[in-house]
Amino acid sequence: MSLSITSRPTNFNCVHLPILYELSTTNFPTNSVDTSRTCTFTNDNGYCRLALSGDIKATGSANELEYVKVVYSGGTEIFQIITWYSDTDITIDLEYDAGLTFTSVQYYYANYHGVFKVYAGLRPGHTYDSQKPYRLLTTVKAVPDSQNKIRLNVSEIIKSDIDILIDLKDGIENDLNNSSQFTEFYIEYAESYDYSPDGYTLQTYTSSYTSDSSDYAIATNSKVPFRNEYSDMRLYAGLAAEPLKFMTLFTNPVLFEGFPFKIYFLQPYNETYTLNFDQYNESGLVQSDQFIANEDEGLYMNEDLEQYLSLSATYAQIYLSDNVSEILTVSIDRACYNNSIYLMWRNYLGGMDHWLFTAEKDYSIEIESVKQSEDDIFIGWDVSYAGSRIKYDTQRVARESILVRSQNLTLDQVQAIQYIKTSPLVLWNDVSYLELGKNVLVDSSSFLVYSESDKLYSISFNIQMTDTIPSQSL
C-alpha cells in the first residue's frame, strides 16, 4: 500500500479542537509508483493507439476501462483505456489526429481516496477496558490534496464517545464508573481506487487495512484558548517541561466548609500519582492525607476533600506526588451564610469549578411565552353583552429564576468565576436535589466582568430552572 501516516495525535488531546492525522500517498495526484512512458501512436478505428516505451503499470496489469494521464499537445488530460492489447500497447478514448504530439503517458488511479475506520474506547489491559472496550465509531473517506497529503480531523467523530455534559461522581477514580470524560482512540486505514478486473466492469479496489492501534492517543472533554502555546493537554498531563497543572481556572481555590470540593487532573500512561492534601494553621502543618490514583491513564478527580477537613486548619496545599504538579494553595472558609447558593460548572479544561455565592439573591418568575385567543363577538352579538371575555390566554410558559450575586471577590476569583457564564453545564448543589446537583441555565446576556479602576470586584447573573412551572392550558 502506498498510503502511510506521517504524523499522528499523541498523548492527551482536546476533543473540542482539531485532532489531526496526516497521511501521505505515492499514488495520487502525483504518481511516483508507475513510470511515466513515452509513446508513438497509430489510428485504431478513429482513436489513438499508443505504443508505450514500457509497462504502463508497475504492479499487476492495466485493463480496459481503466485510466491514464496523458501529457500531449492538447494539454494534460485523463483518458480511459478502451482497448488493452498489453501493458505496452493500449488504445485510449482520444480521437486520432495525425498532428498530435505526445510527451508522456502514465497510469492514473481514478477515484483515488483513503478509507479510514475510527475506533474509540479503552485499550486492552486498561483497568476499565471491559466497561468500555474499543468499538468502531464510523468509516470515512478522504482525498489527497495537491501535495499527495491527507489531513484527517477525527475530533467530531470522537465526541460521540464522550459524555460532554455530565459530571463525575465522588471518589478518586478514573471517570469510567460514571460519565466518560475521556476516551482513547486510533484509526485503521486503507487506500481505494477504481479498477476493472475483467475489462467489462469498473469496480472499486480497497487494499487491506493497516491498524494504528499501537500508537493510540487520548481525547479529553477539553478546549484550550486560541493561540495557546500548546493545542493539546500536555500542560495538564505533566508532559511539558513545567510541573503538571490541575484542571481549574482558580489560582487559589476556596474550600467552603459543608460543601463538596473537587480537583481534577490527568494521569498519563504508566504513571501512578499520589494526591497530597496538607492542612495548615498559624502554627504549621496540622494534618496530611494522601490518595493514590492507580487505575491507569485517564481523567481523575479527588474525593470530596471537605470530609477530611481538620477543625483547626485555615488553609491547605494540594499537589501530586513529589514535585510532579503545581502546588495549589486552598483557602478554607468556615463562615456560616444564611442565604448562600453553591454552584458548580464545567470549565473549558474539562474540570469542574465551584463557588459559594453569599450575597443577597432575588427570586423571580420569567414568562417565556403566552398564547392567546379572541372570541368573535359578532357571531352572537345579541347575547355578547352577557359574556365575560373577548380576548383570553390559552397557555403560559414560565420558569423560576434567581438573580445570583457574589460577595466581594479578588481579581483572581472574579476572573475564574466569569467562566460560569460561558459554561454549558452549571449545577446547583442543594440538599433537596440529587447527589450531583440540579442543572440550571445561566443567562446568555453579555456582561461586564470588571473595570481597571475597580477596587472591589463582584459578579452577578441570572439562573433559570430547566423545568417550567406547571400551568393549565387550552
CATH classification of the domain holding 320 = 2.60.40
- Let me know if residue 229 belongs to a domain: no
pLDDT top residue among 168 and 147:
147
| Whether residues 405 and 301 fall in one domain | no
How many other CB atoms are found less than 10 A from the CB of residue 273?
22
- pLDDT value of residue 358: 95
How many other CB atoms are found less than 10 A from the CB of residue 161?
21
Q: Reduce the secondary structure of 272-286 to three states and give it as a string.
A: CEEEEEEEEECCEEE
Which domain does 154 fall in, by range?
3-28+112-220
Asked whether the predicted pLDDT for residue 384 surpasses 80, the reply is: no
Asked whether the predicted pLDDT for residue 275 surpasses 80, the reply is: yes
- pLDDT value of residue 433: 44
| Whether residues 307 and 245 fall in one domain | yes
Look at the block and give the residue holding cell 472499486: 204
Average the pLDDT over 278-284 and give the result: 96
Average the pLDDT over 26-53 and give the result: 96
Q: Reduce the secondary structure of 6-41 to three states and give it as a string.
A: EECCCCEEECCCCCEEEEEECCCCCCCCCCCECEEE
Give the dihedral sign, CA 167/175/236/355: positive
Give the dihedral sign, CA 252/255/259/263: positive
| Whether residues 90 and 139 fall in one domain | no
pLDDT top residue among 292 and 458:
458
Q: What proportion of the chain, given as a percentage, has pLDDT over 70?
A: 93
The CA distance from 84 to 326, in Å, is: 70
Domain termination residue (choose one: 50, 76, 108): 108
- pLDDT value of residue 229: 64
Asked whether the predicted pLDDT for residue 34 surpasses 70, the reply is: yes
Query: The C-alpha cell of 415 is what?
Result: 476572573
Q: What proportion of the chain, given as a percentage, has pLDDT over 90?
A: 70
Question: Whole-number mean pLDDT of the chain?
Answer: 90
| Whether residues 299 and 247 fall in one domain | yes
Where does the pLDDT of residue 292 fall: very low under 50, low under 70, confident under 90, or very high at 90 and above?
confident
| Whether residues 298 and 256 fall in one domain | yes
Average the pLDDT over 369-375 and give the result: 90
- pLDDT value of residue 434: 43
Average the pLDDT over 164-192 and give the result: 73
Number of compact structural domains in the chain: 4
Which residues, other chains included, contact 114 with Cβ-Cβ below 8 Å and sequence gap of 6+? 3, 23, 25, 141, 142, 143, 144, 150, 152, 189, 190, 191, 192
Q: 113-121 and 182-195: which strand pairing?
A: antiparallel
Asked whether the predicted pLDDT for residue 440 surpasses 50, the reply is: yes
The CA distance from 171 to 108, in Å, is: 59
- Let me know if residue 131 belongs to a domain: yes
Where does the pLDDT of residue 452 fall: very low under 50, low under 70, confident under 90, or very high at 90 and above?
confident
- Let me know if residue 194 belongs to a domain: yes
The CA distance from 363 to 401, in Å, is: 6
Asked whether the predicted pLDDT for residue 435 surpasses 60, the reply is: no
Domain termination residue (choose one: 86, 108, 130): 108
- Let me know if residue 342 belongs to a domain: no
Average the pLDDT over 77-88 and give the result: 96
| Whether residues 297 and 375 fall in one domain | no
- pLDDT value of residue 393: 87
| Whether residues 101 and 134 fall in one domain | no
Give the dihedral sign, CA 462/465/471/474: positive
| Whether residues 18 and 161 fall in one domain | yes
Which residues, other chains included, contact 284 with Cβ-Cβ below 8 Å and sequence gap of 6+? none
- Let me know if residue 280 belongs to a domain: yes
Which residues, other chains included, contact 264 with Cβ-Cβ below 8 Å and sequence gap of 6+? 168, 246, 247, 248, 299, 300, 301, 349, 350, 351, 352
Q: Which tens digits make up the pLDDT trace of 321-365?
A: 988 999 999 999 999 998 899 999 999 999 999 999 999 999 999
- pLDDT value of residue 163: 84
Lowest mean pLDDT, pick from 151-160, 188-197, 317-326, 437-446: 437-446
| Whether residues 140 and 21 fall in one domain | yes
- Let me know if residue 401 belongs to a domain: yes
- pLDDT value of residue 430: 65
Where does the pLDDT of residue 168 fall: very low under 50, low under 70, confident under 90, or very high at 90 and above?
low
Q: From 260, 220, 252, select the one nearest 239 (Cα to Cα).
A: 220
Q: What is the DSSP secondary structure assignment for residue 244, as one 8-state letter?
A: B
Where does the pLDDT of residue 386 fall: very low under 50, low under 70, confident under 90, or very high at 90 and above?
low
Q: Which tens digits make up the pLDDT trace of 99-157?
A: 999 999 999 999 999 999 999 999 999 988 888 899 999 999 999 999 999 999 999 99
The CA distance from 198 to 213, in Å, is: 36
- Let me know if residue 160 belongs to a domain: yes
Where does the pLDDT of residue 177 fall: very low under 50, low under 70, confident under 90, or very high at 90 and above?
very low
| Angle at 111 (CA atoms; ends 105, 112), nearest 5 degrees | 85
Average the pLDDT over 12-24 and give the result: 95
Domain termination residue (choose one: 78, 108, 138): 108
Q: Rounded to a whole number, what is the largest CA-CA distance in the chain?
A: 104
Which residues, other chains included, contact 123 with Cβ-Cβ below 8 Å and sequence gap of 6+? 129, 134, 184, 213, 216
| Whether residues 246 and 202 fall in one domain | no
- Let me know if residue 198 belongs to a domain: yes
| Whether residues 376 and 460 fall in one domain | yes
Asked whether the predicted pLDDT for residue 206 surpasses 50, the reply is: yes
Question: Residues 406, 411, 412, 415: what is their CA dihedral angle, to the nearest 10 degrees?
Answer: 70
| Whether residues 403 and 278 fall in one domain | no
